[in-house]
Amino acid sequence: MNYSNGNLYKVFKKTFHKIHFESYHPKDILLLGFGAGSVASLIQDKYHNDCNFVSVEKDQEVIRLGSKYFNTARFRHNNIICADANDFINENHQHFDLIVFDCYIDSEVPDQLEKNKFLEGLHHALKKGGMLLFNKFVFDKKSETSAGNLKIEFDKLPDETELFYIRENGFHFHEKHVNWMFVHHRQN
């Protein structure tokens, strides 16, 4: 399992650099796949962003371990919810400036979280001008095919989606065995 380890932190750190996160000041942030809080740590500690987090983590044991070993209570204005990301989005009525998606079972994103219905739910949960960062780890032929299908689903959404291929040691614009970071912007 990949719960907020150093490599994951580096992937989001590089993504934030690429999208010039320092000039983006989200107030309401949804973290899907909270883990031990590496993305919240990056936003709060590196970017000194005083924002409101809604953090969704499916695994109660991960929440407990994050609290015990990673001091997740240190995050200001953080509401940690133990729930499935799909169920949360289906029942959600809030809108967010930023949604960060990093939900995995072992190394794979659950299939239902790569379907158009879920992606549309994410799009509609964004405020106008909001941004979605969707992390997809590609490590073999099956995950590469899945990522290609995910790109097709993102292309069906209204507004713009950019795709970055990120390795721990840099950006690559067409490589296998990397993180595919989908950056979706809601215009209207």
**Domain contains 86:** yes
Structure tokens that stand for 55 in this block = 């953090």
Question: What is the pLDDT of the chain when averaged over all its residues?
Answer: 91
Task: Quote the pLDDT of residue 7.
Answer: 72
* Separation of alpha carbons 81 and 172, rounded Å: 34
* Separation of alpha carbons 116 and 92, rounded Å: 17
| Predicted model pTM | 0.92
Which domain covers residue 59, as residue numbers? Answer: 7-14+28-127
**Domain contains 188:** no
**Domain contains 150:** no
Look at the chain and report how many structural domains it folds into.
Answer: 1
Give per-residue pLDDT as tens, 28-44.
999 999 999 999 999 99
Residues whose CB is less than 8 angstroms from the CB of residue 180 and which lie 6 or more positions away in sequence, other chains included: 135, 136, 137, 138, 147, 150, 151, 163, 164, 165, 166
Report residue 171's pLDDT band, with 50, 70 and 90 as the boundaries.
low
Task: Return the H-helix or E-strand segment holding 16.
Answer: helix 6-18
Task: Quote the pLDDT of residue 75.
Answer: 92
